[in-house]
């Protein structure tokens, strides 16, 4: 119950622990579930199509290396912009500083982190899915 939203004026939103725990739990749940769901769906589709040979989907080592470079770039970009946003809020009121942790759980930020993980662990379809979802979200905005 403690992680549920109570409105912007709740006391827990003005302290440091709730925003940081929400941030960590959100990213941990989304990132780990994304990997497990992807693997389960790929496995289910492969079994349904009768593809039990894992060598059918071979990706060149060069492509994997390039994806990992992109993954590192995306991870560094996220860390840089998150730290810059925190630094810009450092002298603001405490609740405004900690609100950056909440704002980093929006879909745009989550897409950057999960695209980084998906490229690093050779699951590019997950990055595509997040990019499509955020593209639709941006169009609706």
DSSP per residue, 24-73: HHHHHHHHHHHHHHHHHHHHHHHHHTT---GGGS---HHHHHHHHHHHHH
Is 103 a member of any domain?
Answer: yes
In the structure encoding, which two tokens stand for residue 126, read together? Answer: 């997950």
Q: Does the pLDDT at position 55 exceed 60?
A: no
First to last CA, the chain: 30
pTM for the predicted model, two decimal places: 0.81
Total count of residues recorded for the chain = 141
Is 43 a member of any domain?
Answer: no
Which candidate, 111, 115, 129, 130, places its Cα nearest to that of 71? 115
Domain count along the chain: 1
Other CB atoms within 10 A of residue 5 CB: 10
Q: Which domain holds residue 70?
A: 59-141
Query: Are 76 and 54 in contact, with CB atoms under 8 Å apart?
Result: no
Q: Does the pLDDT at position 141 exceed 60?
A: yes
Q: What is the pLDDT of residue 47?
A: 82
Report how far residue 102's alpha carbon sits from residue 100's, in angstroms, rounded to the nearest whole number.
Answer: 5
Is 27 a member of any domain?
Answer: no
Is 110 a member of any domain?
Answer: yes
Tens of pLDDT along 8-46? Answer: 667 776 677 888 888 999 999 999 999 899 989 888 888
Report how far residue 20's alpha carbon sits from residue 100's, in angstroms, rounded to the nearest whole number.
Answer: 9
Average pLDDT for the chain: 85
């Amino acid at each position: 119950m403690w992680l549920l939203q109570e409105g912007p004026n709740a006391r827990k939103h003005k302290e440091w622990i709730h925003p940081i725990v929400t941030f960590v739990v959100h990213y941990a749940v989304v990132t780990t579930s994304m990997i497990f769901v992807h693997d389960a769906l790929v496995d289910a589709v492969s079994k349904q199509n009768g593809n039990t040979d894992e060598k059918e989907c071979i990706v060149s080592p060069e492509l994997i290396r390039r994806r990992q470079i992109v993954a590192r770039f995306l991870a560094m970009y996220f860390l840089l912009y998150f730290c810059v946003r925190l630094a810009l809020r450092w002298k603001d009121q405490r609740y405004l500083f900690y609100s950056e942790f909440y704002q980093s759980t929006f879909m745009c930020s989550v897409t950057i982190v999960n695209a980084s993980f998906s490229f690093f662990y050779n699951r590019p379809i997950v990055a595509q899915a997040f990019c499509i979802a955020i593209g639709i979200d941006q169009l609706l905005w």
